[in-house]
Amino acid sequence: MLITLHNITKIYRPGAYQIYALQGISLGVPPGEFLAVMGPSGSGKSTLLHILGCMDQPTAGEYYLAGQMISNLSAKSLAKIRNKKIGMVFQSFFMLPRFTALDNVALPLMYADTNGKSEREMAGAALAKVGLADRAHHLPQQLSGGQQQRVSLARALVNNPELLLADEPTGNLDRETGFQIMKLLIQLNQSQGLSIVMVTHDLEMAAFADRRIVLRDGFIISES
């Protein structure tokens, strides 16, 4: 398994009250799978994604990524794994407005071992992978929403991660552009074997995935 979760629990403690965001989640994701995670607001979707992305740690339980125990690592070690093994795409594009598309894509390489390769060369290859080689020197305001999301996707792919996490990647896009982004994710999944975990509210977008789980109140209530 690429991802193995054993009884993952996440508790937030504002004041004297405990809030259970996740309650005993156990889940396996094999390499190359495209998994959609659904559920109402407050169901635990984003908390699960943050734990998978090494941006948060569970209160209890075990998380293994490619066989390595993740849930007991230091913040520094988590940052290294996040940079080397995980790419992330969000509903908002998070592009630096004064940086070109190429420079935005190259940002993660500032903290990575590129094995002697040029950072700009690697960023250019990632842009070509998402069909935006001809927009490399455009600023964000010169790009459409769909193009900006493609740049964000290229940035997530520039380190050749084993896992791509996508949090509502079509949420800020119109329907047609959203479907274009989903087709691109499918292409990356099928042609390159990229493992994808995507949070979405949209049943049509979730239909692109190999498997779908639904969360409610921190539990997995269904799988299809």
Which tens digit of pLDDT belongs to each residue from 122-155? 999 999 999 999 999 999 999 999 999 999 999 9
Q: Which residues pair with 219 in a beta bridge?
A: 216
111, pLDDT greater than 80: no
3, pLDDT greater than 90: yes
**Band of the pLDDT at 158, cuts 50, 70, 90?**
very high
Nearest to 196 by CA among 80, 35, 45, 25: 35
Tens digit of each residue's pLDDT (9 = 90 or more) over 14-37: 667 888 999 999 999 999 999 999
**What is the pLDDT, as a whole number, of residue 108?**
87
Structure tokens at 5: 């979760």
Query: How large is the average pLDDT for residues 90-118?
Result: 83
Residues 9 and 164: beta-carbon distance below 8 Å: no
Domain boundaries, the chain: 3-223
What is this structure's pTM?
0.91
Which of 153 and 72 is assigned the larger pLDDT? Answer: 153
User: Which numeric CATH code is attached to 3-223?
Assistant: 3.40.50.300
Location of structure tokens 């996490």: 165
**What is the pLDDT, as a whole number, of residue 117?**
67
Sheet with 60-65, edge to edge strand ranges: 19-29, 3-12, 60-65, 68-69
Query: How large is the average pLDDT for residues 185-195?
Result: 92
Q: How many residues does the chain have?
A: 224
- Tally DSSP H helices, then E strands, for the chain: 7, 10
Write down the mean pLDDT value for the chain. Answer: 91
Whole-angstrom distance, CA of residue 107 vs CA of residue 104 = 5
One-letter amino acid for residue 164 of the chain: L
**Band of the pLDDT at 118, cuts 50, 70, 90?**
confident
Taking the CB of residue 19, how many other CB atoms lie within 10 A of it? 11
Q: Strands 68-69, 86-90: parallel, antiparallel or unpaired by DSSP?
A: unpaired
**Band of the pLDDT at 171, cuts 50, 70, 90?**
confident
